[in-house]
């Protein structure tokens, strides 16, 4: 049996819990349309997700999971802001020497990693931070500062490399359980994904005249907002249900 979803397991589960939270906020509308979704429908759904988190990931509560996710996301946002400003400062500070700008973009990792790192790709962000910190020696730092690159932002970037790498290692370690490959686990995960997409599909029609509410239930967007949208190697391609859930 293959998984029906083309996301890594943990981001999919986080997204499912997020869908459940949004359902709770608009429960009356859903229950009016789907009476079978009255209590304890959503509580049972949340319990099923949390059971998998506890059994396969050792995560005892949704709050623990969200705390770890927030840490990675906050570090990523902070790093992106500093890296973007330093990139601009290099381009302006060395504007009379385009060749040196190109050398610096390559040396500090921008050429290889920035395009994807700036769009919430965590592995690319870590790659950029590590390249930056590995090549920013005292001489290069002095050269940058002499050309009006902000010293405090350089210090920030050096600190993010270790912090984000460690946070990501912790997060990735939660995804490594081989037990997730068992038929029992895959069946449970597929059921959770199907139920989340059921909610999203009904929401698409239910809130078709309210774009803000409708967009709360775009499952792929919820996953992407975590910055962890990479797919599992053994997952199937996007399902028709997921495609239909998008506005």
Closest Cα partner for 131 from 100, 104, 166?
104
CA distances from 104 to 43, 81, 150 (A): 53, 18, 15
Residues whose CB is less than 8 angstroms from the CB of residue 223 and which lie 6 or more positions away in sequence, other chains included: 7, 11, 12, 14, 15, 229
Per-residue pLDDT tens for 132-164?
998 999 999 999 999 999 999 999 999 887 777
Q: Is 183 exposed, middle or buried (0-12, 13-18, 19+ CB in 10 A)?
A: exposed
Q: How many CB atoms lie within 10 A of CB 71?
A: 17
pLDDT in tens, 110-139: 999 999 989 877 778 888 998 999 899 999
Q: Chain-wide mean pLDDT for the chain?
A: 83
> Does residue 38 register a pLDDT over 90?
yes
Read off the pLDDT band of 188 (50, 70, 90).
very high
**Domain layout of the chain by residue ranges:** 9-59+178-245, 74-173
Does this model's pTM top 0.85? My answer is no
Of 46-50, 93-97, 106-110, 198-202, where does mean pLDDT reach its minimum?
46-50
């Amino acid at each position: 049996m293959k998984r029906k979803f083309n996301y890594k397991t943990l981001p999919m589960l986080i997204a499912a819990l997020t869908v459940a939270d949004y359902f709770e906020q608009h429960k009356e509308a859903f229950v009016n349309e789907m009476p079978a979704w009255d209590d304890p429908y959503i509580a049972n759904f949340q319990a099923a997700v949390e059971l998998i988190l506890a059994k396969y990931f050792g995560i005892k509560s949704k709050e623990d999971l969200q705390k770890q996710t927030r840490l990675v996301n906050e570090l990523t946002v902070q790093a992106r802001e500093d890296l973007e400003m330093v990139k601009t400062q290099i381009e302006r500070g060395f504007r009379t020497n385009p060749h040196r700008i190109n050398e610096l973009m390559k040396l500090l990792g921008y050429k290889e990693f920035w395009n994807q790192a700036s769009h919430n790709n965590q592995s690319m962000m870590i790659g950029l931070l590590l390249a930056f910190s590995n090549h920013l020696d005292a001489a290069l730092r002095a050269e940058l500062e002499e050309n009006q690159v902000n010293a405090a932002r350089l210090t920030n970037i050096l600190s993010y490399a270790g912090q984000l790498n460690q946070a990501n290692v912790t997060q990735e370690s939660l995804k490594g359980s081989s037990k997730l490959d068992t038929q029992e686990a895959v069946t449970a995960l597929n059921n959770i994904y199907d139920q989340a997409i059921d909610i999203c599909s009904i929401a698409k029609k239910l809130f078709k005249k309210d774009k803000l509410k409708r967009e709360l239930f775009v499952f792929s967007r919820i996953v992407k907002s975590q910055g962890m949208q990479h797919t599992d190697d053994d997952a199937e391609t996007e399902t028709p249900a997921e495609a239909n859930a998008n506005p």
